[in-house]
Amino acid sequence: MVSAIIVAAGRSERMGVGTDKAFLSLGPKPVVVWALLAFEDSLDIDKIILVVRREQLVAAKAVVQMFGLSKVSEIVAGSGRRQDSVAKGLAAVSSETRIVVIHDGARPCVTTELISETVKAAQRTGCGIAANRIVDTVKFVERGTVVDHTVDRTKLWAVQTPQAFKLDLLLRAYQKVEAEGVTVTDEAAAVELLGEPVRLVEWQKPNVKITMVEDLAVAAALLRING
């Protein structure tokens, strides 16, 4: 069984106090629903666990019913840190799960094709992380705005979601994170702590994350939503 955990419990600090970007309208649907529908339509996904802010549990149940998201088996309350929200999602995963896919609910442009590629990579190698090569010139700044040096971009990748893993691998990684009291910003970083190889799945198509109000217009254009 392949289970997906959609994480939509962040504080959305860049969007302003009291804003929950996952439930902002993006055309006719909330942001998180676009991501949920991609996983609902994916032939590779059997079950979905949705992790939201505690105060959004009722709203989350409503959108699941409204949009016919039959694969959503659990809706759980998340925590302040991403890794804690993911841990709560992992606790709700079925014991029959062999592969687990983690995805940011704020990435509405995810496709079934990308989901499939990450799942296949995880089945072959243990994990598959959506990523793309950095094409901009990158500067390293020690402090302020003065450049220290230019970084070799040929070795740099920007990592995104979905991130797919064999469940036992990710559980071991999270056990190590908890034991060492480490904060990680994505699941791949947790697996890196184990010393296990992290495999990237190159994806050059737009996979924007909603972090600023302006990103909604970009996502709408990519999804071809008309006014």
Beta bridge partners of 130: 201
Q: In whole angstroms, how far apart are CA 144 and each of 140, 141, 153, 196?
A: 11, 7, 22, 35
What's the total number of domains in the chain? 1
In a domain, 84, yes or no: yes
Q: Which residues in 64-91 are b (16+ Cβ under 10 Å) and which e?
A: beebebebbebbbebeeebbebbbbbbe
- pLDDT per residue, tens digit, the chain (227 aa), is 999 999 999 765 565 555 788 999 999 999 999 999 999 999 999 999 999 999 999 999 999 999 999 999 999 999 889 999 999 999 999 999 999 999 999 999 999 999 999 999 999 999 999 999 999 999 999 989 999 999 999 999 999 999 999 999 999 999 999 999 999 999 999 999 999 999 999 999 999 999 988 999 999 999 987 54
In a domain, 227, yes or no: no
Host domain of residue 80: 2-222
Q: Cβ neighbours of residue 101 under 8 Å, at least 6 residues apart? A: 2, 3, 4, 5, 39, 45, 115, 118, 119, 122, 162, 163, 164, 165
Contact 163, 119 (CB under 8 A): no
Quote the pLDDT of residue 209.
94
Q: Distance between CA 166 and CA 143 in Å, rounded? A: 39
Quote the pLDDT of residue 226.
55
Beta bridge partners of 61: none
CATH number of the domain residue 79 falls in: 3.90.550.10
Token code pair at residue 176:
């190590």
In a domain, 119, yes or no: yes
